[in-house]
Amino acid sequence: MSISEQYFPNEPKGPVVKSTEFPGPESKTQIASLNEVFDSRPVYFVADYEKSLGNYIVDVDGNTLLDVYAQIASIPLGYNNPALLEAAKSDKMIRAIIDRPAIGNFPGSDLKEIISDLLKVAPEGQDKVWSGLSGADANELAFKAAFFWYQGKKRGFTAQFSAEEDKSVMENIAPGSPELAILSFERAFHGRLFASASVTRSKPVHKLDMPSFKWPKAQYPSYKYPLSKYETENAEEDKRCLAIVEEIFKTWHCPIAGLIIEPIQSEGGDNHGSNAFFQGLRDLTLKFGALMIVDEVQTGVGATGKLWCHEHFNLTPKPDLVTFSKKFQSAGYYFHDPEIIPNIAYRQFNTWCGDPARMILAGAIGKEIVKHDLPALAAKVGSYLYAKLELLQAKYPTYLRDLRGKDRATFIAWSLPDAAARNKFLTDMKSVGINIGGCAEDSVRLRPTLVFEEKHADILVAGIEKILAGY
Amino acid sequence: MSISEQYFPNEPKGPVVKSTEFPGPESKTQIASLNEVFDSRPVYFVADYEKSLGNYIVDVDGNTLLDVYAQIASIPLGYNNPALLEAAKSDKMIRAIIDRPAIGNFPGSDLKEIISDLLKVAPEGQDKVWSGLSGADANELAFKAAFFWYQGKKRGFTAQFSAEEDKSVMENIAPGSPELAILSFERAFHGRLFASASVTRSKPVHKLDMPSFKWPKAQYPSYKYPLSKYETENAEEDKRCLAIVEEIFKTWHCPIAGLIIEPIQSEGGDNHGSNAFFQGLRDLTLKFGALMIVDEVQTGVGATGKLWCHEHFNLTPKPDLVTFSKKFQSAGYYFHDPEIIPNIAYRQFNTWCGDPARMILAGAIGKEIVKHDLPALAAKVGSYLYAKLELLQAKYPTYLRDLRGKDRATFIAWSLPDAAARNKFLTDMKSVGINIGGCAEDSVRLRPTLVFEEKHADILVAGIEKILAGY
């Protein structure tokens, strides 16, 4: 029995489309009603989560859609997964919900186990974790850790703050509030709060009208596809981009405490970087004394065929900080260097320091992933799917341009001629019962759950072909 | 039957202290063990949340402490409240936990009800809400809303972004990423992310080594106590502080889009501002075209005798944005002006847009608060407690200096001679079975739950007297 059959004996056999357009009439009515209390302009349809199951999302019009977008890449084990249901009904979870502790001051006696469960699925080389609440929060907490570390290195990790630092920080001026930077990349997405939006460079809508930190940006490689055909050109592209990073480190007007990068730029278009590019970055951060922060908010938790996408790169040494959220349903950063723990208490601190309820769920998710080796399943299904998409690409090259994600399991994307064609494709796919998402202006990204199997891939490929055949 | 008897028929009759020092031996062992995976330096003791009940927190050494700190002011209805237990076990909650939706794109059909429940306890004059995940997150989302609004007013609320704005924002420069400021106050606490830390001015440890936005700060009134004795001096202090705010609005080198203020500065020392001061600020924000953001993260949800503390001020017009978190167990901001909804979709947006599980809990909390009129209970118990503390103050004036919070229900504080005396007092109070918290360097703040009654106040006052009698 396959894992989806084990979890979901009653999973639908395929999509059922009842509406002639999306959103369907009942969704439309509910979207209008919802708009009275909530900005519902971005709503695609209103879901019925009671009826959704496994890889299928059901909407209020009774449409049953194969979901390869999965709440913007954030449903790990399918809808209404029985293992998570059990975790949600546990006494531990119920207490975490109703007696939410300030875990920094008054942790419950179960906290060590809860955190240890998160550490069981830590990236290779990482053995500590700090908790937050969302991807943006995780990244900003990592920036704080990087700034504390950078100044600690200068000051001496055990040194106290000077009177001048204590005084100036209350005025938001140096030396207490120093000018320091985080280096990020064009087309990156790291969140939409103020520091995270400052390093996000994918679309104007994410940050327009927001004041920002004037931090440097480098270029993320733009490869030619298929990769196997353009090895020389793409190696040159790596060198070009690494030279830009080095130049910035050498010339930027203030110290750069850390570099943040996605192993695959997701929101920005599923842009990939090679092992050599990432090892080059690792070398540069060491050379210039900055921390390497790998943002695994979207790429983490199994979907690329490894628990953490950057593990594909075999970096030496391992990255300093690895941030997570989305499919882990909790958020935070992993790290290993004890000097990343601030020198005194209450520096990395807040009332809740994460949400134990969500951390308990993350532990349950991690346990299932390990037990069923779901990254390996994603790798197997991804290879199968990628091969089918290559065949489709040969038939419809215009609409399956720059197929990306070979050897990255189900983390697959491609481009269409332009934004209009892409948007039409996403909408059309609903008519064949598939909920699918985009990235950048002209691309499609597949982000199925970790219990997406070959039978689901077959339905997806048939749906794509049906739509493209009509173009 | 009192409300605490209704909720907690088995609530302890009083504290039970088994340890001769805090943390007790078992807590000490667990703190050391926890430190292997989590920074446990700030831990006071390890709690047993299964055994904690109502106003009493139980630790792993079997100590039963009357809790007037309540997880840094964030437990609304006592530990293991049966009404919240019911909410936590509901199908709606369980689905929200295991099928966490990206509510901006794929809301469930229960979202309208969930949000409507939050609106049932909205501050006077507010009828819309936007959700976040923590107090810092709520404040930063409010800043985004303020910046969008401010630029929208300049550009025209229905106008699209210019090509130059779209281009420059990707470089983090004006006009797309404009220089705009949020005005805050000395001794304020609004969170520890980057924009929120930039407006936080209570202690160096909250933000040292973090780059900051160079935003202006004004002065929050420092009143003389008792207020009734120093009316003239305190009215002068209001004028002095309002003049500083006006001067900053007139002279600051970039536009100020919003002003953020706590109705009572909590972390910064339980500093109060008069109705006249707050109305003066409201007038100045209108005069200079900035939004007024009231940070009710700590003061909100009933503890000051009204649902929202700023309702004591009877402001005209009502504040533009009111942020919340802590005792509401969810986070976000209330507002009323439709122009605060950004002109296009996806500007105020992220994957989760809050956490429906926490929003459902907030709805349940709000329902209980309204049903039992808990702000009125807090007001009644607070008056009773304040009168008892005044009597104690007459006896021990050195250790109950500047008693604050008259007519603010149980939201009471006072100062001790210095930090050492205050810290010793907080520790000593555990020996009489009371868990109590501090604020600023030398002050004590009371933050009991909303089901704290006169009988609990009696135990608290007796405990304080016992400790002070020994000084």
Cis peptide before B317 (omega within 30 of 0): yes
Q: Which chain B residue has the Cα nearest residue A135?
A: B351
With an 8 Å Cβ cutoff, are A211 and B101 in contact? no
Task: Label residues B9-24 b or e (16+ Cβ within 10 Å = b).
Answer: eebbeebebebeebbb
Confirm if A215 and A290 have CB atoms less than 8 A apart.
no
Which strands make up the sheet holding A56-58, listed edge to edge? A56-58, A64-67, A434-435
With an 8 Å Cβ cutoff, are B106 and A48 in contact? no
With an 8 Å Cβ cutoff, are A39 and B212 in contact? no
Candidates B28, B306, B326, B327; catalytic one:
B326
Q: Where do the DSSP E strands lie in A70-132?
A: 128-132
Of B99, B348, B352, the CB nearest to A49: B99
Q: Note the pLDDT of residue A378.
A: 98
Percent of the residues in chain A that have a pLDDT greater than 70, as a whole number: 100
Q: How high is the mean pLDDT of chain A?
A: 97
With an 8 Å Cβ cutoff, are A151 and B209 in contact? yes
Write out pLDDT tens, residues A180-211. 999 999 999 999 999 999 999 999 999 999 99
With an 8 Å Cβ cutoff, are A47 and B208 in contact? no
Backbone φ and ψ of B250, nearest 5°: -75, -35
With an 8 Å Cβ cutoff, are A71 and B98 in contact? no
Nearest Cα of chain B lies from the Cα of A145 at a distance, in angstroms, of 9
Q: Note the pLDDT of residue A471.
A: 93
Is B424 a known active-site residue?
no
With an 8 Å Cβ cutoff, are B42 and A104 in contact? yes
Confirm if B303 and B73 have CB atoms less than 8 A apart.
yes
Of A112, A347, A349, the CB nearest to B34: A112
CATH level 3 topology of A91-371: Aspartate Aminotransferase; domain 2 (3.40.640)
With an 8 Å Cβ cutoff, are B79 and A99 in contact? yes
> Considering only CB atoms, which chain B residues are within 8 Å of A165?
204, 208
Quote the CA–CA distance of A272 and A264 in Å, as a whole number.
5
> Considering only CB atoms, which chain B residues are within 8 Å of A108?
46-49
Candidates B295, B320, B428, B442; catalytic one:
B295
Nearest Cα of chain A lies from the Cα of B364 at a distance, in angstroms, of 11
What amino acid is encoded at B334 in this protein? Y
Q: How far is CA B381 from CA B297, B396, B411, B453, in A?
A: 22, 22, 11, 6
- How large is the average pLDDT for residues A209-231? 97
Q: Note the pLDDT of residue B102.
A: 97
> Considering only CB atoms, which chain B residues are within 8 Å of A194?
140, 143, 193-195, 213
Confirm if B301 and B307 have CB atoms less than 8 A apart.
yes
- How large is the average pLDDT for residues B197-201? 98
Nearest Cα of chain B lies from the Cα of A402 at a distance, in angstroms, of 25
Is A287 a known active-site residue?
no
> Considering only CB atoms, which chain B residues are within 8 Å of A78?
none
pLDDT bin (cut points 50, 70, 90) of residue A353 is very high
With an 8 Å Cβ cutoff, are A105 and B72 in contact? yes
- How large is the average pLDDT for residues B203-221? 97
Backbone φ and ψ of A258, nearest 5°: -160, 160
With an 8 Å Cβ cutoff, are A105 and B36 in contact? no
> Considering only CB atoms, which chain B residues are within 8 Å of A84?
97-98
> Considering only CB atoms, which chain A residues are within 8 Å of B121?
none
With an 8 Å Cβ cutoff, are A177 and B211 in contact? yes
Question: Which is nearest to B422 in space by CA: B406, B407, B444?
Answer: B444
Cβ burial of A341 (10 Å; 0-12, 13-18, 19+) is buried
Q: Which chain A residue has the Cα nearest residue B153?
A: A209
- Reduce the DSSP state of residue A183 to 3 states and report it: strand
- How large is the average pLDDT for residues A306-335? 98
Mutation target to probe the B interface, by most B beta carbons within 10 A, among A8, A26, A43, A49 is: A49
With an 8 Å Cβ cutoff, are A39 and B345 in contact? yes
Helices (H), A156-192: 163-169
Is B189 a known active-site residue?
yes
Mutation target to probe the B interface, by most B beta carbons within 10 A, among A209, A215, A439, A447 is: A209
Write out pLDDT tens, residues B368-423. 999 999 999 999 999 999 999 999 999 999 999 999 999 999 999 999 999 999 99
- How large is the average pLDDT for residues B69-77? 98
Candidates B287, B316, B349, B351; catalytic one:
B351
Quote the CA–CA distance of A112 and A37 in Å, as a whole number.
40
Candidates A120, A127, A229, A351; catalytic one:
A351
With an 8 Å Cβ cutoff, are A144 and B192 in contact? yes
Vertex A185: Cα angle to A182 and A191 (nearest 5): 70
Helices (H), A159-230: 163-169, 194-198
> Considering only CB atoms, which chain B residues are within 8 Å of A140?
193-194
Nearest Cα of chain A lies from the Cα of B210 at a distance, in angstroms, of 5
Tokens representing A285?
């951060």
Question: Which is nearest to A446 in space by CA: A418, A416, A405?
Answer: A405
B248 Cβ neighbours under 8 A, 6+ residues apart? B183, B216, B218, B256
Of B180, B194, B215, the CB nearest to A140: B194
ipTM of the complex: 0.97
Q: Note the pLDDT of residue B436.
A: 98
Q: Note the pLDDT of residue B378.
A: 98
With an 8 Å Cβ cutoff, are A38 and B115 in contact? yes
Of B60, B205, B352, the CB nearest to A346: B205
> Considering only CB atoms, which chain A residues are within 8 Å of B120?
none
Q: Structural domain boundaries of chain A?
A: 91-371
> Considering only CB atoms, which chain B residues are within 8 Å of A179?
211
Write out pLDDT tens, residues B326-360. 999 999 999 999 999 999 999 999 999 999 999 99
Q: Note the pLDDT of residue A47.
A: 98
> Considering only CB atoms, which chain B residues are within 8 Å of A177?
207-212
Cβ burial of A465 (10 Å; 0-12, 13-18, 19+) is middle
Nearest Cα of chain A lies from the Cα of B394 at a distance, in angstroms, of 33
- How large is the average pLDDT for residues A414-430? 97
Tell me which H or E stretch contains B268: none
CATH level 3 topology of B3-17+63-69+373-469: Aspartate Aminotransferase, domain 1 (3.90.1150)
Nearest Cα of chain A lies from the Cα of B217 at a distance, in angstroms, of 8
Of B102, B180, B329, the CB nearest to A72: B102
Question: What CATH number labels B100-371?
Answer: 3.40.640.10
With an 8 Å Cβ cutoff, are B74 and A351 in contact? yes
Cβ burial of B382 (10 Å; 0-12, 13-18, 19+) is buried
